Chain A
């Protein structure tokens, strides 16, 4: 029996004219592990939602064609019936977990299906065992790490014992170790229990050795559907679509990219001294006794496991948080002496979720917002805005609403809007989240070029070793809030113990 059979599937969102899914025909055999990849906005998430019945049951728009699970059309059977056969794991664990305790979360689906209590308890035990969280039943979810939360989310759907598991970018928020853990659990479910898996991701390298089939999507179509052994023989199609290649490219270009630039001066721009910070709701310090200096023109990566304190450190540098102890000076000025609006032009930050920065009606207004607040004269403002729009290739979409753009474009707008203030220190938090290889490379190339040309400083937080190797002059490794390494990326990544300690080993 074919567990999933998709025929002539078209889907158009209510507000759009062109279909997001465009004539998809495919089928999956029992026990298959399918890697679904493609550039940002190609329709991967929509496709998964069509397979599990969320489209059309919980969505407007127009769906034609059929998705059959065990020969039953999912659009004609209730979602509650489909969810016993197909489960979907979402990208961000914080958005999908509903309860306070681990066992309540795992029980939630079973309670909805009307399972008796004793059966629910059995399934909870089994599901926790499957995801390696035995003994976690009574734990509070908000006390868990990002990787543990995603495992709880996985356990909550495993408990429903589906035949098919759909995963939508399940590791994009996780550090390499948590990523490895989640993927090995999924593989185990696939090989030992025989669950059919469809995993959508940009990170082809991490999944290519686990799957037995590869689907490549582009503009709502499956443009490549091959067994894993054949899919990567010709990588040109992946390269053309800007999708991460299965094998690492030659690294000589990367080295040249970084070494072609050099730090123009050794002026200290940022000085951090004995920084401590503890969140009011926490019992431990998120940042502990961190001290370092950054010179003008440097590109610095901050790396560490989920919850190690990277984002907290960026927020402290930006002045968004006030340290409990210690001092941050930018250009020899103590950040605590300045109000936030006085830091504009000295430091700028783009969050992991760039949407938090987008508040204007058009892309042009967004880029204009910062310089306008600094009371730039209108002729200079106009020139500056046009220049920044041009630098970040946003001129064509200058009059578009930021929220109508793709994720990659939105991040580019957020970066341009921050860059328009020409901050001496540009802070970027995890630029890889939800980005395909092409968008990420374009963004980082542009940003690093401008930063280095203008002798400014870029500090970015990431889990991605390749990104650091390619763009950073220096890496700071943070572990449990403490700075444990400050030096070149090459020597950091050749130290096996160091990268294992920081959960950076995949």
Chain B
């Protein structure tokens, strides 16, 4: 059965992730970050083949979004900050005095939303790469991008084993439960110990698989030092779509960096010209 030809070349996918990763770090405005996130969602929909993938993506997004917003809401320590909800009042015995009260801050929630949009954009593009790229194409692309052979192989192997790790993790967790273990119970120490113990067979399995695969590819002449001398059965060429996408994204990144630098100079009194006022406003409001 022939494999469907991917829309984007593997190098394009990697460059897209790298450029978008930089872009979302540079952007501060929720609306601009939302646009990036929605664009990444559009990209990943072309790679989703099964309901399981969709479910996995939604679980990832839920937990990262919830975790970041919740943690930033509570632990936000910049000023000004406005208390929205008090979880533990200051006068609460011991914990209240010790922590100075535990509150959820409005600015923290806002900051959490921004951070989750940044993180989720990169996460979604990562999922797109994993679900739409064959390991050998990824290895080839990383080599073409001059990534050191050892690192390229490590990345590729890690992605190759994701389904195996998921299935073995499920087997380990279920078998522990079948031996009477409950992850959610009042004895927190026992629960944590159980979770830590479950890592042991998962880790051991990963090491064993990686060792075997490493030996298998080395036995077939693969060496991280000689990846540049490899030939390839399949030639991989970037097409017009690839070049256009990389060019547009690079241009966006350059523009955003340029505008941010200009705004930084203006805000810190280093450089100001009146005819750039519109640019300063655009940068502050939109970017």
List residues of A whose CB falls within 8 A of some B CB.
49, 52, 54, 57-58, 78-80, 83-84, 87-88, 90, 92, 94-101, 103-104, 107-117, 120-121, 124, 138-140, 143, 156-157, 160, 280-281, 318-320, 339-341, 343-345, 347-349, 351, 353, 355-360, 369-371, 373-374, 403, 417-418, 421
Given the known interface contacts A341-B181, A344-B178, A359-B176, the answer about A108 and B222 at a Cβ–Cβ threshold of 8 Å is yes
The reply to whether A341 and B50 contact each other, CB–CB distance below 8 Å, is no
Q: Which of A160, A347, A355 has the most chain B CB within a 10 Å cutoff?
A: A355
Instruction: Indicate if the CB atoms of B220 and A156 lie closer than 8 Å.
Output: yes
Residues of B within 8 A of A356 (CB): 168, 171-172, 175, 201, 205
Inter-chain contact B233/A370, CB cutoff 8 Å: no
Contact B232 A348 (CB under 8 A): no
- Expressed in whole angstroms, the Cα–Cα distance for A87 and B220 within the complex equals 7
In the complex, the answer to whether B221 meets A318 with C-beta atoms within 8 Å is: no
Q: A79-B218, A101-B134, A341-B178 are in contact. Are A116 and B201 (CB under 8 A)?
A: no
Taking CB as reference atom, which chain B residue is nearest A142?
A: B163
Interface residues of B in 121-150 (CB under 8 A from A): 134-136
Partner pick for A138 among B1, B201, B220, B229, CB 8 A cutoff:
B1
A80 B51 Cβ-Cβ under 8 A: no
B215 touches A92 (CB 8 A): no
B200–A104 CB distance below 8 A:
no
Q: Within the complex, what minimum Cβ distance (angstroms) separates A310 from chain B?
A: 16
Those 10 A-B pairs whose CB atoms lie nearest each other, nearest first:
A373-B180, A109-B220, A344-B180, A96-B216, A112-B221, A95-B212, A340-B177, A370-B179, A107-B233, A359-B197
CA gap between A347 and B178 in the complex, in Å: 8
Given contacts A83-B219, A340-B178, A357-B201, 12 further A-B contacts (CB under 8 A): A97-B216, A98-B213, A98-B216, A103-B233, A108-B136, A112-B223, A117-B233, A120-B233, A320-B171, A345-B180, A360-B197, A417-B179
Cross-chain contact of A99 among B134, B174, B177, B218 (Cβ < 8 A)? B134
B189 within 8 A of A: no
Asked whether any CB of chain A lies closer than 8 Å to the CB of B29, the reply is: no
Tell me the nearest residue of chain B to A92, going by C-beta. B212
The winner among A104, A108, A357, A359 for most chain B CB atoms within 10 A is A359
User: Which residues of chain A come closer than 8 Å to B179, judged between CB atoms?
Assistant: 344, 348, 369-370, 373, 417-418, 421
Q: How large is the interface on B (under 10, 10 to 19, 20 to 34, 35 or more residues)?
A: 35 or more
- Alpha-carbon distance between A133 and B160 when the two chains are bound, in angstroms: 24
Distance, CA A319 to CA B174, complexed state (A): 9
By beta carbon, the residue of chain A nearest B176 is A359
Q: Within the assembled complex, what's the spacing in Å between the Cα atoms of A97 and B209?
A: 11
| Alpha-carbon distance between A339 and B178 when the two chains are bound, in angstroms | 9
CA distance A51 to B2 in the complex (A): 38
Residue of A nearest to B221 (CB): A112
> Which A residues are in CB contact (< 8 Å) with B270?
none
Q: Is B21 an interface residue (CB 8 A)?
A: no
Task: Report the bound CA distance from A373 to B208 in whole Å.
Answer: 29
A104 touches B136 (CB 8 A): yes
* Contact indicator B180/A421 (Cβ below 8 Å): yes
- Cβ–Cβ contact A96 & B221, under 8 A: no
A95 x B200 contact (CB < 8 A): no
Q: Contacts A79-B218, A120-B233, A355-B205 given: A373-B181 contact, CB under 8 Å?
A: yes
Chain B residues with CB under 8 Å of A112's CB are 217, 220-223, 226, 230
- A90–B135 alpha-carbon span in the complex (Å): 20
Whether a CB of chain A sits under 8 angstroms from the CB of B89 is no
A100 contacts which of B3, B51, B175, B218 (Cβ < 8 Å)? B3
A318 cross-chain contacts in B, Cβ below 8 A? 178
Let me know if B223 and A79 touch, CB within 8 A. yes
- A349 and B171 alpha carbons, distance in the complex (Å): 11
Question: Among the listed A117, A139, A339, A359, which residue makes an inter-chain contact with B1, where contact means beta carbons less than 8 Å apart?
Answer: A139
Residue in B closest to A344 when the chains form the complex, CB atoms: B180
Q: How far is the CA of A57 from the CA of B219 in the complex (A)?
A: 11
The answer to the question of B231 belonging to the interface, with a C-beta cut-off of 8 Å to chain A, is: yes
Q: Are B216's CB and A359's CB within 8 A?
A: no
Residues of chain B with a CB closer than 8 A to A347's CB: 178
Contacting residues, chain A, for B219 (C-beta < 8 A): 52, 54, 79, 83, 87-88, 157
Tell me, in angstroms, the Cα distance from A101 to B137 when the chains sit together. 11
Q: Find the B residue at minimum CB distance from A357.
A: B175
Measuring CB to CB, which residues of chain B are less than 8 angstroms from any residue of chain A?
1-3, 50-52, 134-136, 160, 164, 168, 171-172, 174-182, 197-198, 200-201, 204-205, 208-209, 212-223, 226, 229-234
What are 30 inter-chain pairs, A to B, with CB distance below 8 A? A54-B218, A57-B218, A79-B218, A88-B215, A88-B219, A90-B215, A94-B164, A95-B212, A96-B216, A99-B134, A117-B231, A117-B232, A120-B233, A121-B233, A140-B3, A143-B1, A157-B219, A319-B178, A341-B181, A344-B177, A344-B180, A345-B180, A355-B208, A356-B205, A359-B176, A359-B197, A359-B200, A369-B179, A417-B179, A421-B180
A278–B26 Cα gap in the complex (Å)?
46
Chain A contacts of B226 at CB under 8 A? Answer: 80, 112
Q: Which residues of B contact A103 (CB under 8 A)?
A: 233
The distance in angstroms between the C-alpha atoms of A11 and B26, with both chains bound, is 55
Q: For residue A116, give the distance in angstroms from its CB to the closest CB of chain B.
A: 6
Question: Which of A108, A111, A117, A358 has the largest count of B CB atoms less than 10 A from its CB?
Answer: A111
Tell me if A99 and B136 are in contact (CB < 8 A): yes
Given A52-B219, A108-B222, A140-B3, the answer on whether A359 and B234 have CB atoms closer than 8 Å is no
Residues from chain B with Cβ under 8 Å of A113 in the complex? 221
A343 and B222 contacting across the interface, CB-CB below 8 Å: no
Whole-angstrom distance between the alpha carbons of A95 and B209 in the complex? 6
> In chain B, what residue has the closest Cβ to A104?
B136
The docked-state distance in angstroms from the alpha carbon of A110 to that of B234 is: 13
Contact partners of B171 in chain A: CB under 8 A:
320, 351, 356
| Neighbouring B residues of A281 by C-beta, 8 Å | 50, 52
Contact B135 A100 (CB under 8 A): yes
Q: Complex Cα distance A357/B173, Å? A: 9
The reply to whether A280 and B51 contact each other, CB–CB distance below 8 Å, is yes
CB atoms of B181 and A160 under 8 A apart: no
Question: With A and B bound together, what is the CA distance between A128 and B135 in angstroms?
Answer: 22
Contacts of A140 in B (CB 8 A): 1, 3
Using Cβ atoms and an 8 Å threshold, which residues of chain B touch A355? 201, 204-205, 208
- Residues on B with C-beta less than 8 A from A358 are 200-201, 204
Cβ-neighbour of B136 out of A92, A98, A348 (below 8 A): A98
A299 to B45, CA, bound (A): 50
> Using Cβ atoms and an 8 Å threshold, which residues of chain B touch A359?
172, 176, 197-198, 200-201
Q: How far is the CB of B180 from chain A (nearest CB, A)?
A: 3
Residue of A nearest to B163 (CB): A142
B129 to chain A, nearest CB (A): 14
Q: Give chain B nearest CB distance to A404 CB in angstroms.
A: 11
Indicate if the CB atoms of A90 and B212 lie closer than 8 Å: yes
Residue numbers in A under 8 Å from B182 (CB-CB): 341, 373
What residues of chain A lie closer than 8 Å to B197, measured between beta carbons?
359-360
A280 adjacent to B231 (CB under 8 Å): no
Give the distance in Å from the alpha carbon of A49 to the alpha carbon of B219 in the complex.
9
Q: Which residue in B200, B220, B232 is a CB contact (below 8 Å) of A157?
A: B220
